[in-house]
Amino acid sequence: MKLATALLLFAACVFAAEPSTVAVRNARIVTVSGPVIAKGTVVVRNGLIEAVGENVTIPEDAFIVEGEGLTVYPGLIDSLSTVGFANAAASTAAAGGRGGRGAQTAVATAAAPRSMGPEDRPQTTSWESAADEISASDSRIPAVRSAGVTTAATFPTRGIFGGQGSIIDLISGEKPGEMVVVPTIGQYISVGRGGFGGGGGGGGYPGSLMGYIAYVRQVYLDADHYKMAMAAWDKDPRSMERPMYDRALEGVLASKRILLPANREVEIDRMLRFAAELKQPAILYGGHEAYKPEAAELLKKSNMSMLVSLRWPELPRGEIDPDNEPTMRALETIHKAPAAGAALQKAGVKFAFYTDGIDQPRELQRAVKRAIDAGLSREDAIRAMTLTPAEIYGVADRMGSIEKGKIGNLVVTRGDLFDDRAQVLWVIVDGRQYKPETGGQGNGRGPATEQPGNPGGNR
């Protein structure tokens, strides 16, 4: 099964290509930025949306997709991802479980050398940029694309200051550079959770949550001081000793914004305060307890955007240990986390979903469906994966909706996106067409065969 999936996925990447003009006609068009067009046409030429509307002339050279009975959406944006990093852990855990030793941390790839103290900064690679590190051959690219994800905000996640994230379009290009839409969109910061030993037993500094916080705080104090010293030296280089160039601080200072983890209400409160203290533009990620109106209200008050993980919490598998039963609070979070979107929407908080490593199309659909079932409107769910993430990262001028001049990223489906029976038929990224891989879609559970009358049908 796995092998077959891999082969099919491979076939899917090979398939993508020319022609450079595509038109989807007679389809229902969900533009997101404007009203839904009941029956219209979208033309994508040279990677950009050339025209959209009810009466659009289709260029002669266009490859035509018959959209009768189909729906076109803007390409989905995964607002926090590691796609493109072939060795990265898929999940960018916002925080560990409740209490005890931290379950997952976002530390990926090879372990950093043990730090002897706050002065060595082995957990800072702030200068690195996803744009420089991604690989076009990451097998997760065709996988998530099959779910309709055309774009990802992808981040290096090792250490504490992982590096600069980038917006990338999920094309199967030869050179990774082709994928990059915006090379630097912000700094990913992860904050581990220590156990009782807090690093005393073998890890380096920091080994506890308070250590992580102190580490980040010190880095920003140093960055401020560095900036001041550099400016003074620049102004009058003959008056003082030359400050030492520090790439870690350069990277920190170059960050447009920081991403801080916050799942529980307590963490949201803590990180809102921390972001204010650091005086950095910030976005929080995690958000599972944002279903609580109090938590949503805190975010609203700080005018903070939240990235909500679609990996909803679950009961521990198997029999529950009666001595270690989840608390009422934990059960409530499992029960209500998918309502985070609805609660944030109601409170007027800007939020976007992120896949958190869910790369099977059917599972992604189901995860979003649970948010819809918990009270989020379908329109708002779509917005949280299209225009809102584009706004959060300041790229709504070029993507996130179906508008003339925006990047030609589209998803063509049969049925409503995020419905159990919805099928993604075509994914268009930068104007290139991709046929999603159905083998990977069903995972043995969903409809595994294509419906008759599939447009193109030439595979």
Partner 1 sequence: MKRLLLAGLMALAPICAETIVIQNATIMTVTKGTIKNGSVVVRDGKIVEVGEKVMIPEGATKIDAQGQYVIPGIIDCHSHIAGDGGINEGSVSVSSMVNIKDIINPEDIAIYRALAGGVTTANILHGSANSIGGQTIVLKMRWGKDAQSMIFEGAKPGIKFALGENPKRAGNPQGRGANGQQPFARYPATRMGVEDTIREAFNEAKIYKAEWDEYNAKAARGEHPMPPRKDLKLEALKEVLEGNRYVHIHCYRADEILMMIRVADDMGFKVRTFQHVLEGYKVAKEIAAHGAGASTFSDWWSYKMEAFDAIPYNAALMTKAGVVVSLNSDDAELMRHLNSEAGKTMKYGGMTEDQALAMVTLNPAKQLGIDNRVGSIEAGKDADLVIYDKYPLSDFAKVQKVLIDGTVYFDRDKEVSAQAAKDAEKQKLLDKLKQESQQPGNGRGRGRGGN
Should residue 211 be labelled a site residue for partner 1 when binding is judged by CB under 8 A? yes
Q: Would you count residue 118 as binding partner 1 (CB under 8 A)? A: yes
Q: Give every CB contact of residue 389 below 8 A, 6+ residues apart in sequence.
A: 77, 78, 79, 153, 307, 352, 400
The interface region with partner 1, picked from 25-33, 169-177, 308-316, 343-351 by CB under 8 A, is: 308-316
Q: Which of 39, 225, 421, 459 is in the footprint of partner 1 by CB under 8 A? A: 225
Binding flag, residue 375, partner 1 (CB under 8 A)? no
Answer for which of 25, 366, 383, 406 binds partner 1 (CB under 8 A) is 366
Beta partners for residue 160, in sequence order = none
Burial of 447 (0-12, 13-18, 19+ CB in 10 A): middle
Touching partner 1, residues 424-453 (CB under 8 A): 443-445
Which residue, among 30, 75, 77, has the nearest Cα to 52 in the 3D structure?
30
Q: Which of 360, 409, 438, 441 binds partner 1 (CB under 8 A)?
A: 360
Minimum CB distance to partner 1 smaller for 200 or for 281: 200
| Residues 184 and 156: beta-carbon distance below 8 Å | no
Contacts (CB under 8 A) with partner 1, residues 140-179: none
What is each CA distance from 17 to 173, 358, 430, 434, in whole angstroms? 10, 26, 10, 8
The number of CA neighbours under 13 Å toward the Cβ of 348 is: 5
Restricting to residues 19-78, name those near partner 1 by CB under 8 A: none
Sole binder of partner 1 in the list 213, 297, 391, 419 (CB under 8 A): 213
- State the nearest-atom distance from the C-beta of 174 to partner 1, in Å: 31
CB of 225 to partner 1, least distance (A): 5
Interactions with partner 1, residue window 312-351 (CB under 8 A): 312, 314-315, 320, 325-329, 331-332, 334-335
CA-angle at 352, arms to 412 and 360, nearest 5°: 50
| Angle (CA) 295 296 301, round 5° | 100
Q: Which of 1, 38, 110, 244 binds partner 1 (CB under 8 A)?
A: 1
| Count of residues that bind partner 1 according to CB under 8 A | 72
CA–CA dist 388, 384 (Å, integer): 5
Q: How near is the Cβ of 459 to partner 1 at its closest, in Å?
A: 24
Residues forming beta bridges with residue 168, ordered by sequence position? 152, 180
